Amino acid sequence: MLVLGSGPGGQKAAIAAAKLGRRVAVVDRPDMVGGVSLHTGTIPSKTLREAVLYLTGLTQRDLYGQSYRLKENITVADLTARTEHVVGREIDVIRSQLTRNHVTLFAGTGRFVDDHTIALREVTGQERLISAEHIVIATGTRPARPDSVEFDGRTILDSDNVLTIERVPQSMVIVGAGVIGMEYASMFAALGSKVTVVEKRAGMLDMCDVEVVESLRYHLRDLAVAFRFGETVAAVERHPRGTLTVLESGKKIPADAVMYSAGRQGLTDELDLDKAGLTADRRGRIEVDEHYRTPVPHIYAVGDVIGFPALAATAMEQGRAAAYHACGEPVGQMHDLQPIGIYTIPEISFVGRTEDQLTEERVPFEIGVARYRELARGQIIGDAHGMLKLLVSPQDRKLLGVHCFGTGATELIHIGQSVMGCGGTVDYLVNAVFNYPTLAESYKVAALDATNRLRELDRIGE
């Protein structure tokens, strides 16, 4: 098996096939081992977030006062020290996993010569041919850049080069209020940059619970973030003293830097897909079936290059599933119930449906809420704003959705996911004993709240 791309999808495909006894090779540029995930995406952005939280002392201010900071003037060097350390270690882990499993790593990029053969272009410019029974395309994406904007990588940035800025900007415009845009908006706001978010749509993160999005907006406003919803950028100008973002409505926003977060484009334009009998859509994405097979059945595609949901979490599972299928190993269908984690400050996570979706689908539900300020652990860590919300079916008492906002949300959500995945009811959570004092206890508190409401409902109906 030959795998193009060493991001989460490619890695897991390669290792799974190797474990099943196949001869496997992965192709990627030597400076990109680990993929976008490790170099410009998930890992550096989440490490940067940890560095921001630690150095700014933001999460400790409820306990030690609003002026509390671990370090006064936080420099880019302070932030990147942690990222470089983590990325370096992770590269080592990935290389060692591939070596341990006897996966060959070819340094360079690949393009199709025919449906079984790849031309490997090495850094020296030399090309050699490699053929394989199965090929997995896991080449990922790059940030989409509107043609009308002149990106310079210093003041007009995309989410790749935001990691290599020279200093923390005093002011910043973020274009696009999607997940990546809002994560970076949170980080820069926490660092003290004056952030303005510009978004074409009327709001942000519309897949999330409305109450959670409102809370996030309140928190970010508190960090001086300004929102310009329903606005389109007409032009971004670069001036000696900074940038000027001109909106179609006529507003002008001066800032030290502008970051575009306007979606991503599949990395397929240099693959010569036609030589293998394949095509990509306008956004560079490849179509696959439920086994991640392209229309050419021995060629698979996984990860961001196949589009939604474009998460490292799913890319890994798709890689494994594709390899199992290629090797004739039984593989179950990926569970529909997938958690979403958004690392804004505070963080958001959910699984299942939202109140709005349930209402639209005419599915009755009752809610149960736990607020961190009512939990001993919430007081200990100084998070008074966090909350967990359960959406429960009054008919069979099963969980329909879990929504969490605040410290540890992206970890806590897996409890709800497990209960939902195993078909558990709210009564399981009521009767369970949780470690104390923990944030996980919020499940019990929210479950009790929900069952109290359900009891009211039953009483009235008696």
Ligand X SMILES: Cc1cc2nc3c(=O)[nH]c(=O)nc-3n(C[C@H](O)[C@H](O)[C@H](O)COP(=O)(O)OP(=O)(O)OC[C@H]3O[C@@H](n4cnc5c(N)ncnc54)[C@H](O)[C@@H]3O)c2cc1C
Residue 145 makes contact with ligand X by CB under 6 A = no
| C-beta of residue 262 within 8 angstroms of C-beta of residue 146 | yes
CB of 316 to ligand X, least distance (A): 8
Instruction: Write out the two tokens for 248.
Output: 């179609």
Residue 445 makes contact with ligand X by CB under 6 A = no
CB of 198 to ligand X, least distance (A): 18
CA 174 to chain centre: 17
Binding test (CB under 6 A) with ligand X, winner from 343, 350, 365, 372: 343
Helix (H, G, I), strand (E, B) or coil at 178: coil
Residue 303 makes contact with ligand X by CB under 6 A = yes
Give the binding-site size for ligand X (rule: CB under 6 A): 38
Residue 406 makes contact with ligand X by CB under 6 A = no
Question: CA torsion sign, 154 to 158 to 162 to 163?
Answer: negative
The site string for ligand X over 39-68 (x = CB under 6 A, - otherwise) reads --xx--xx----------------------
**Residue type at position 444:** K
Q: Count Cβ atoms within 10 A of the Cβ of residue 82 and give its class: 0-12 exposed, 13-18 middle, 19 or more buried.
A: middle
Residue 5 makes contact with ligand X by CB under 6 A = yes
Q: Which ranges constitute the DSSP H helices of 287-440?
A: 312-326, 355-360, 376-381, 409-421, 426-431
CB of 254 to ligand X, least distance (A): 25
For helices 8-19 and 312-326, angle between their N-to-C axes, nearest 10 degrees: 30
CB of 106 to ligand X, least distance (A): 8
Residue 110 makes contact with ligand X by CB under 6 A = yes
**Stretch of residues binding ligand X (CB under 6 A), selected from 26-34, 128-136, 331-339, 400-408:** 26-34
Residue 139 makes contact with ligand X by CB under 6 A = yes
Residue 1 makes contact with ligand X by CB under 6 A = no
CA dist 12 to 15, 282, 336, 343, Å? 5, 27, 20, 24
CB of 255 to ligand X, least distance (A): 20
The site string for ligand X over 221-260 (x = CB under 6 A, - otherwise) reads ----------------------------------------
Helix (H, G, I), strand (E, B) or coil at 192: coil
Residue 313 makes contact with ligand X by CB under 6 A = yes
Helix (H, G, I), strand (E, B) or coil at 38: helix
Residue 155 makes contact with ligand X by CB under 6 A = no
Helix (H, G, I), strand (E, B) or coil at 351: strand
The site string for ligand X over 172-191 (x = CB under 6 A, - otherwise) reads --------x-----------
CB of 32 to ligand X, least distance (A): 4
Binding test (CB under 6 A) with ligand X, winner from 310, 351, 420, 446: 310
**Stretch of residues binding ligand X (CB under 6 A), selected from 31-39, 90-98, 217-225, 330-338:** 31-39
Residues 229-259, buried b or exposed e (16+ Cβ, 10 A)?
Answer: eebebeebeeeeebbbbebeeeeebebbbbb
Structural element, H or E, at residue 274: none
Closest CB to ligand X among 45 and 442?
45
Binding test (CB under 6 A) with ligand X, winner from 14, 189, 198, 311: 311
Cis omega (within 30 of 0) on the bond before 254? no
Instruction: Write out the two tokens for 427.
Output: 């009564």
Binding test (CB under 6 A) with ligand X, winner from 48, 86, 87, 315: 315
**Stretch of residues binding ligand X (CB under 6 A), selected from 139-147, 323-331, 395-403, 447-455:** 139-147
Q: Which residues contact 20 (CB under 8 A, 6 or more apart)?
A: 323, 324, 327, 329
Q: Which residues bind ligand X (CB under 6 A)?
A: 4-10, 27-29, 32, 35-37, 41-42, 45-46, 109-110, 138-141, 159, 180, 267, 270-271, 303-305, 310-313, 315, 343
